């Protein structure tokens, strides 16, 4: 197998893994925000994405506990 193909495959896999957590939101919240977005008129590019991001952030609970770090 050519090294270029392996390199491209590794880069694609790493890109997919890094993007996945940012897009993760419960399906119910995404459906709610999509339903709300249907009733809004967007006038500029990116307004829909900004609306969805803000809607998901508003309906997602904030972390409650303090983050625990490993001690080395």
Q: Using an 8 Å Cβ cutoff, are 51 and 35 in contact? A: no
Per-residue pLDDT of 43-62, as tens digits, reads 998 999 999 999 999 998 87
Per-residue pLDDT of 21-34, as tens digits, reads 445 678 899 999 99
**CA separation for the pair 25, 43 (Å, rounded):** 26
| Listed residue (33, 24, 27) closest to 51, CA to CA | 33
Query: How is the chain split into domains, by residue range?
Result: 25-59
Report yes or no on whether pTM surpasses 0.75.
no
């Amino acid at each position: 197998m050519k090294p270029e193909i392996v390199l491209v495959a590794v880069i694609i896999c790493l890109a997919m893994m890094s993007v996945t957590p940012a897009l993760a939101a419960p399906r119910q919240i995404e459906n709610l925000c999509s339903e709300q977005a249907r009733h809004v008129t967007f006038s500029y590019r990116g307004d829909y994405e900004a609306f969805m991001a803000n809607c998901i952030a508003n309906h997602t609970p904030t972390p409650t506990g303090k983050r625990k770090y490993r001690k080395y």
